[in-house]
Amino acid sequence: MGGGVVKSGGGGGRRRRKGRAMPMSEINVTPFVDVMMVLLIIFMVAAPLLTVGVPVELPKTAASALPSETEEPLTVTISADGIVSIQNTEVPREDLVPRLRAIAAERADDRVFLRADGTVTYEVVAQIMGALNAGGFSSIGLVTDIGGPALDGSDG
């Protein structure tokens, strides 16, 4: 890391021959800090890119974000054309409940986040919520974007 040499000064202490250097006993931590700062910046830039990759146009609401938890949340997505996905995997509707039961058996948390495109009808969203409940998930969170109308006369 950082062992260097220091030229002997002059007065006091041991006398050495002119031109010889004494080893420096201090550790230089500047390169370590530089590497940590670069890694921090890389992770800060890469973290938002790690979200679920099914593109949907979420409706906007005035609700605040949910606090994060220790286990990665299960996300079910309904795209604009009605395709249902668990995380990033498309699932036919007739296979949805059996797959959800298998997932629920392996998870400690019964929380699931439902992402639905804003153009999807309420009937389809309600059917998928019923399938989630039948699959063993009793805590269903609807995912929206922030910045929508607050319904109190203000916009956002």
Domains of the chain: 5-49 (no CATH), 53-146 (3.30.420.270)
Residues 113-153 have pLDDT tens digits of: 999 988 899 899 999 999 999 988 888 888 888 777 777 76
Taking every pair of C-alpha atoms in the chain, what is the biggest distance, in angstroms? 90
Q: Report CA torsion sign: 86, 69, 66, 41.
A: negative
pLDDT in the model for residue 2: 53
Residue 3's pLDDT band, with cuts at 50, 70 and 90, is low
More confident residue, 107 or 154: 107
Q: What is the mean pLDDT of residues 26-55?
A: 82
Long-range contacts of the stretch 130-134 (C-beta < 8 A, 24+): 131/93, 131/96, 131/97, 131/100, 132/76, 132/100, 134/97, 134/100
Per-residue pLDDT at 39 = 92
